Amino acid sequence: MVNNQFPGNSSFIYYVTIVNTEEEISITYSLSEGAPYSRFVLTYSGEYQLESWKPSGWAIVWKWFTNKCNLYGYCGPYGYCDNSVPEATCKCLNGFEPVSLEEWNRGRFSQGCRQKEARKCSDGFLALPGMKAPDKFILVKNRNFKECAAECTMNCSCVAYAYSNMSTSTMKGDGTRCFVWTTDLIDTENYGNSAASDTLYLRIAGLDAGV
């Protein structure tokens, strides 16, 4: 259990209980006695905050500040946040360039990136290690690595795939994880050597399929 107390309010404490067993992984929150009605809120933009009820309505008690790259889709389609450098910044995935270089140079990344040249079904895949899996994936169950790669290679609409073997984790049943993407890659990050990262295999225009 973790206890947290907020600055300027010594009577307001919230408790975090983390349960990690073979049956479940869960987090529960509770408040100290006498605390006002409160709620945790994850905003649409990705900000996490604690709010308490006052006669005037819900008031923000605390915000968990984070860098902008942690906001959902901050770098736009086919852009990614590079967290492997001292100052995180948006970059385009290999084979892509900013949709608007002018906006990109101004630090406005929402338009994301576009292909430098059109992909073909015969194009190969470039391994990008240390990546956080993008959103809007399709989970394909019960596949080994080669079968996962084939799922994407044989589908001309597939733009990327990633594979993880989680058989040593506390999860039961199928211990493999095969992700494939057939839509724009969004909310991607480069974690560097983090254990939480995956290798993303991206279909690149002009790349020999035998590479």
φ/ψ (deg, to 5) at 150 = -65, -35
Mean pLDDT across the stretch 177-187? 94
Is residue 56's pLDDT more than 50? yes
Q: Which residues contact 93 (CB under 8 A, 6 or more apart)?
A: 78, 79, 80, 113, 128, 185, 188, 202
Confidence band, pLDDT 50/70/90 cuts, at residue 4: low
pLDDT digits (tens, 9 = 90+) for 61-119: 888 766 777 788 999 999 999 987 778 899 999 999 999 999 999 999 999 999 999 99
pLDDT computed for residue 92 by the predictor: 97
Q: What one-letter code names the amino acid at 2?
A: V
Does residue 211 register a pLDDT over 50? no
Instruction: Identify how many contiguous H helices and E strands the chain contains and give both numbers.
Output: 2, 16
Tokens of 149: 């790669």
Q: What is the mean pLDDT of the chain?
A: 84
Provide the pLDDT for residue 79: 97
Q: How confident is the model at residue 168 (pLDDT cuts 50, 70, 90)?
A: very low
**What mean pLDDT comes out for the span 41-48?**
78
Instruction: Indicate if the pLDDT at residue 6 is higher than 70.
Output: no
End-to-end CA distance of the chain: 49
- Cβ atoms 178, 163 nearer than 8 A: yes
69: helix, strand or coil:
helix
Where along the chain do its domains lie? Answer: 2-64, 68-203
The mean-pLDDT minimum among 97-101, 126-130, 161-165, 187-191 falls in 161-165
Cβ contacts of 195 within 8 Å, gap of 6 or more: none
More confident residue, 209 or 39: 39
In whole angstroms, give the CA distance from residue 154 to residue 150.
6
Predicted pLDDT at 2 = 47
